[in-house]
Amino acid sequence: MSRKYFGTDGVRGKVGDFPITPEFAMKLGWAAGRVLSQRGTRKVLIGKDTRISGYLLETALEAGLIAAGINVRLLGPMPTPAVAYLTRTFRAEAGIVISASHNPYYDNGIKFFSADGTKLPDEVELAIEYELEQPMVCESSEKLGKAQRIEDAAGRYIEFCKSHLPNHLSLSGMKIVIDCAHGATYHIAPAVFKELGAEVVLIGASPNGININADCGATHTDLVQKTVVEQQADLGIAYDGDGDRVMMVDHTGRVIDGDEIVYIIARAAKSQNKLHGGVVGTLMSNLGLELALQQLDIPFARSAVGDRYVMELLREKDWRIGGENSGHVLNLDHTCTGDGIIASLQVLTAMIEAKMTLAEFSQGMHKLPQVLVNVKFEKGTAPLEKQHVKQVIADVETRLNGSGRVLIRKSGTEPLIRVMVEGEDALLVREYAEQIAAAVKIAS
């Protein structure tokens, strides 16, 4: 069955436009409550990022869940991976995150975690969609749920993160720039790194409800790059609005993206005989990652784009490490979902144990020039089906002659066509990507 409301990462959209409305959020809470109340603890956690619409959606979801007889535990602003972790530790039936991740403040979304901290199984999402089509009926008063705020949620997660730097190691003597994107890590990441001994230069940690991801964080790294160089820091770490993505910056100001972070973690695991199987990337992963892992005799496989699909392939192969170049990094030996803070701590652990800088550790991987161009399109149009677009793509693939890749796909979260071209010559790669993007734009 196809989904009507759930996308690859929950329900998303512009606030005030269906389905990101208070009416739908309340109905969604009720529908989820109807499904979840048939099992277990009848308890659901709700966390959110720092965007202003979180208050609206949190209240609406809370009302719907309580009407279905679910007890709600409110976490307040909390990174997405923290909600996954706390859902497990509180033995809740599910966790809900109100966030649009790296999107601007005027977008928002609602995504769910299962009791084990992973994405909801397909059958549960379909059951919720079925209930959404039914009339909303409130439970009798004695069966209504209750709401309670968990006051120590941040402290619990901070200690969990700190546990991922081995006890015999410290960050003492390291100067680290932390960019929290004015998002959900603003009160978590600084405490983690300071308590582990680092000198922290903090940026992007003053959320006001509308500045989340605005010219900062993992999707806009210019600020953290500039700050690392100005402060003569050892490195920089940038998270996105909900804390499940991470980008790092070496002491020269060069960005270390998700592919390189995956490489560093896999390389360290291999050197310590702790690598179980191989590494999963996506169709967007740089060819340089595949070649670098090949040099280390580490198997590599590509999934569809999206951490959900990386997770599925990891489980299918019984491997542990995977990720996306956008900064989603998975290591199932540490967490059950992408976690920016824990991924960055794994890189720091590898650096300290190898006595290498971030720049030195990443040198084993040479990225091929890769250009990504996003093209907006009107909903209801199908520019990729136009013959002219197909012809331009075919022409570029012919000119690459097997020495590069072309990948064209629709975004799962925004009305965008993502045009990616990869090859050996940076100027030609840029030219080819812009040619395809222009054709797509005309056809939109």
| 53 within 8 A of 15, measured Cβ to Cβ | yes
Report the pLDDT value the prediction gives residue 9, as an integer from 0 to 100: 81
Distances (CA, A) of 126 to 35, 122, 155, 214, 401: 10, 6, 35, 35, 44
Q: Can you tell me the mean pLDDT for 61-89? A: 97
Lowest mean pLDDT among 278-292, 299-313, 345-359, 375-389: 375-389
Looking at residues 369-398, what average pLDDT do you find?
90
Q: Is 163 a catalytic residue?
A: no
370-443 and 11-151 share a CATH fold: no
3-state class (DSSP) for residue 382: coil
Residue 168 has pLDDT above 90, yes or no: yes
Q: What's the pLDDT at 286?
A: 93
Token pair recorded at residue 41: 């603890």
1-33 confidence digits (pLDDT tens): 567 899 878 999 999 999 999 999 999 999 999
Segment 79-100 mean pLDDT: 97
pLDDT of residue 413: 67
Average pLDDT over residues 272-277: 95
Over residues 107-121, the mean pLDDT reads: 93
Domain map (residue ranges) of the chain: 11-151, 157-240+247-253, 370-443
- Ordered alpha helix ranges (H), 122-247: 122-132, 153-162, 189-195, 222-231
What's the whole-number average pLDDT of the chain?
Answer: 95
- The answer on pLDDT for 224 being more than 90 is yes
Per-residue tokens: 148: 């309670």
State the pLDDT confidence band at 438, using cuts at 50, 70 and 90.
very high
370-443: CATH architecture: 2-Layer Sandwich (3.30)
pLDDT category at 122 given cuts 50, 70, 90 is: confident
pLDDT greater than 90 at residue 212:
yes
**CATH code for 157-240+247-253?**
3.40.120.10
Please identify which of the residues 99, 101, 285, 326 carries the catalytic annotation: 101
Q: What is the mean pLDDT of residues 375-390?
A: 87
Looking at residues 103-123, what average pLDDT do you find?
Answer: 93
Buried/exposed 314-353: b ≥16 CB within 10 Å, e otherwise: beebebbbbbbbbbbbbbbebbbbbbbbbbbbbbbbbbbe
Question: Residue 161: what pLDDT?
Answer: 98
Span 129-133, mean pLDDT?
Answer: 96
Look at residue 435 and tell me whether its pLDDT is greater than 60.
yes
The CATH number of domain 11-151, selected from 3.40.47.10, 3.30.420.10, 3.40.120.10, 3.30.70.890 = 3.40.120.10
Comparison of pLDDT for 423 and 413, the residue scoring more: 423
Alpha-carbon distance of 286 to 291, in angstroms, equals 9
Q: What residue has token string 């001994």?
A: 197
pLDDT at 381: 76
